[in-house]
Amino acid sequence: MAKNAYTKFFLRTKAASGNAFLYTRRQSDGENLLLKSFVEVDIKQWSDAVSSTSKWNKFRSGEGKYLCDKLDEITATIDLVLSQPNPTKKKLEKAIVSVAQREQIQEQAALKKAQEEAQERKRAQREAEQRRKKEELEAMLRQREESFIVALDVFIDAAPARTWHGKPIGLKTIQHYKHLRRYIRDFMNKKHITDIRFDELNKSFYSEYLTFAYGEGLKLNTIGDHIKVIKTVIRDQPMRIQCMAEEFLRCEKLKEESESIALLESEIALIAKQELPTEHLQTVRNMFVLMCWTGVRHSDLEQLNYNSIQVTEDGERYFQFKANKTDKTSVVKILPEAQSILDLYNDGKEMPRVISNQKFNDALKDIMKAVYEANPESTLAGYVTKAYTADVGNGRAGRKKDIYQRWQMVSCHTARRSFATNMRLRGNDRDVICAATGHTTEASLSRYIKEDRLTRASRLK
């Protein structure tokens, strides 16, 4: 279809209806160029518009104004490219497209920009969410790290795998840890709190916990053990956490000398000869007497057997073993009183199984009651006043006194204390006794030796 005189653009289709692209022709360096306008028109409408001058003018000023303005701009663009050096068809088509499809290009650019902005917003939101989660995680980790309660649980759970001076943490020590945890939880329940942070471990907490613990009927030494464990947990943390609880670390440690007894040799003799109704009580009694004449701890009792006996050239017999608590070698001379117990078990070759400390003490109570009832006039009937710090009302600490008979104060550990005391009363030097008991200093041994003032005075020369 030929172009009309009213415009430089024309259709190249024989179709009478539908849509088609407009074309134009131009000369460049003697070459006749057929250029596609990339502007699509309604064939019937365009053909009618270019059929006469009046229709064209009406179309151009009316509904075809936008189209004609676009064609004029394309024409001007073509003229501009043709006026430049080396105006190739490719350059012309590119310039035509930039005008003909400007809106589409702009829409695509706007859409792309909107998509990129949407993606950027999503990325920013995603990063913000990641930061939020990271901050929440860090806050949670900080909260866990700064939580004394979490640290206490971790400390106790890890205790069986921990060592102290190269030795595993003992069961008794772990029981002390758990005892503290039980009372800390009771303290929290009473205060209606769910956590205790390290920065809350201060003098105020110290005072509040003491008031609570005294109110629960705990004695000063037990509370002192709790304070000691809390400080141990604090010192197990990183320095940053330790600094948060520095005020608590400076709080006073609590400990007072507890009243205890040492059995006289005559009292041990009464125990040794006491008739008992069961083999179980007889066995516990025999092991207790053996401990009284060797000074060993309950934890080392199972090592007192034939295999640990060493005999010197002059026939002296000794127990030699490595103490469980200190991991140091102890050498204890087998005194005649101890040998008499070994003889009951084929010179130690058939020693009985050692029961737990708790069961041992339970049986010992029955044994001591039987000894007292059989010997009501003995020194075991004597009275001992036991003074200690405890609650005297409304959580206030004060001195309290309980009165016991000597037989009521006997426990498994009394045997070790009795050995140290009786060996001292026999005239043995402290360093000799230390070698037997495994005490590293005479000062630590002194806590075991129980001499009344009259006995001490009698030794003055």
User: How far, CA to CA in Å, does 459 sit from each of 260, 261, 428, 429, 444?
Assistant: 22, 20, 13, 13, 21
Q: 39, 69, 100: which is the final residue of a domain?
A: 100
Q: 191, 224, 249: which is the final residue of a domain?
A: 249
162 plus 94 within the same structural domain? no
More confident residue, 454 or 336: 336
Helix (H, G, I), strand (E, B) or coil at 344: coil
Asked, for residue 368, whether it belongs to a domain, the answer is: yes
In the predicted structure, residue 159 carries a pLDDT above the cut 70 = yes
Q: 83, 100, 117: which is the final residue of a domain?
A: 100
365 plus 451 within the same structural domain? yes
In the predicted structure, residue 458 carries a pLDDT above the cut 60 = no
407 plus 323 within the same structural domain? yes
289 plus 226 within the same structural domain? no
| Cα-Cα end-to-end distance for the chain | 147
- When pLDDT is cut at 50, 70 and 90, the band that residue 1 belongs to is very low
Task: Write down the pLDDT at residue 68.
Answer: 92
348 plus 419 within the same structural domain? yes
The b-or-e profile of 138-170 (16+ CB within 10 A means b, else e) is eeeeeeebbbbbebbeebbeebeeeeeeeeebe
pLDDT (mean) for 43-65: 92
In the predicted structure, residue 85 carries a pLDDT above the cut 80 = yes
48 plus 190 within the same structural domain? no
pLDDT (mean) for 437-446: 56
More confident residue, 432 or 238: 238
In the predicted structure, residue 453 carries a pLDDT above the cut 50 = no
Task: Write down the pLDDT at residue 58.
Answer: 93
307 plus 198 within the same structural domain? no
Average pLDDT, the chain: 86
Who's near 68: CB < 8 A, 6+ residues apart? 7, 59, 60
Asked, for residue 210, whether it belongs to a domain, the answer is: yes
Task: Write down the pLDDT at residue 40.
Answer: 92
CA distance 230 to 323: 28
In the predicted structure, residue 442 carries a pLDDT above the cut 60 = no
In the predicted structure, residue 2 carries a pLDDT above the cut 50 = no
CA distance 250 to 269: 48
pLDDT (mean) for 432-453: 57
pLDDT tens digits, one per residue of 368-424: 999 999 999 999 999 888 777 777 776 677 777 888 899 999 999 899 889 888 888
Asked, for residue 170, whether it belongs to a domain, the answer is: yes
Give strand pairing partners of 11.
22
pLDDT tens digits, one per residue of 116-131: 999 999 999 998 888 8
More confident residue, 103 or 196: 196
Query: Which domain does 55 fall in, by range?
Result: 9-100
351 touches 307 (CB < 8 A): no
- When pLDDT is cut at 50, 70 and 90, the band that residue 33 belongs to is confident
pLDDT tens digits, one per residue of 222-261: 999 999 999 999 999 999 999 999 999 999 988 877 778 8
pLDDT tens digits, one per residue of 178-213: 999 999 999 999 999 999 999 999 999 999 999 999
More confident residue, 275 or 167: 275
pLDDT (mean) for 334-342: 94
Task: Write down the pLDDT at residue 64.
Answer: 92
Number of separate domains in the chain: 3
162 plus 292 within the same structural domain? no
More confident residue, 135 or 122: 122
Q: CA dihedral defined by 342, 343, 349, 355, rounded to 10 degrees?
A: -50
Share of the chain above pLDDT 70, in %: 89
pLDDT tens digits, one per residue of 276-316: 999 999 999 999 999 999 989 998 999 999 999 999 888 88
Task: Write down the pLDDT at residue 179.
Answer: 95
Give strand pairing partners of 155.
none
pTM here is: 0.59
